Amino acid sequence: MTNLHPLPSTSPLHVQAQTQSRLAALGLTDELLQNALRFAYSESERCSGNDVSSAAGYAKWGKPLRFLRDHLLPEGWLRGGLPRLESVVSPDGSFRITSATGNFATGDLAWMPATAGLKGRLALEAIGDNGQGALDIAGESREVVAPMITYYLLHHLDLEKEQIRSELSIPTHMTIRPKAKKGRIDEFKNRLILNSIDFGIETDVEDGSEADFSDDLDIPVPRRATSE
C-alpha cells in the first residue's frame, strides 16, 4: 500500500492531555523536546547564503539529536550511532529517538503526517522490525536481543502560523519509490503531540511592565532635629 498524500487520521491514539504522562513514562518532557527544537531551528536560522547548501536542513535534522544527547547522556541514555539513523537510545535500550522534518500535518491529530525528506534502508528496517533491530552503540559492540522501538521526533515549520509543530511518534509505514529505493514515512502510531512553539520574536519574551519589577522604594531622608 502506498500513501502518496497525507491521510486523515481517523483514530488518534492519544490526546493532548495524555501526552505529558506518556512522555514522563519515556523519561522525557515536552519542555526538553521543545527546547531541542528551539535550539535546532535557531541554529538553522543562523545559516546564511554563504553556508553550504544543506547546512540549514542539516541543523534541523541533526541539532535536535545533539541537544537531546547533551541533556540525556548524562542521565544514562546512549548515543545511537547507526550512520544513517542517528539517534539517542533509552538507558534500557528499549527505544531510540531520531529526528526528521515533517510535512504540514505534523503535530495535528486531524491528519496523518509524512516525513518531508526521503528515508532509506535503515529507516525502512526500523519500521519493519520496529523492535527487532540490532542496537549499535557508538564505540561499543553490543547486541541487544530485546525489541527496540524507533520514535521519530517529527517537526514542521509553519511559516503562515509562525509556529513549529512537532510530535513524537512511532513510524509504521514507508512508501518506497522503486527507482530511488527510498521513500517517505507516511504513517505513524502512538502519536504524542507536543505543544507548538511560537517563533515570532514578539512572543518570545514579554516586555516587562512596571508592575513586574521590584518595589518602587521610597527612602526616608528626614532632616535631623539639630544640625552640626
Q: Is-contact 101 61, C-beta < 8 A?
A: yes
- Residue with smaller CB distance to another protein, 46 or 121: 46
Out of 15, 110, 145, 201, point to the residue binding another protein (CB under 8 A): 201
Out of 8, 139, 178, 208, point to the residue binding another protein (CB under 8 A): 208
Distances (CA, A) of 86 to 61, 74, 122, 142, 175: 10, 18, 10, 16, 21
Q: Does 160 bind another protein (CB under 8 A)?
A: no
- Residue with smaller CB distance to another protein, 110 or 219: 219
Q: Which of 7, 21, 12, 4 is nearest to 189 (CA)?
A: 12
For residues 36 to 65, the per-residue mask of contacts with another protein, x marking binding by CB under 8 A and - elsewhere, is --xx-xxx-xx-------------------
Q: Which range of residues in 83-91, 101-109, 138-146, 204-212 is near another protein by CB under 8 A? A: 204-212
- Residue with smaller CB distance to another protein, 92 or 198: 198
- Residue with smaller CB distance to another protein, 53 or 227: 227
Q: Provide DSSP, 5-69.
A: S--B-S--S--HHHHHHHHHHTT--HHHHHHHHHHHHHHHHT--TTS-TTHHHHHHHHHHHHHHH
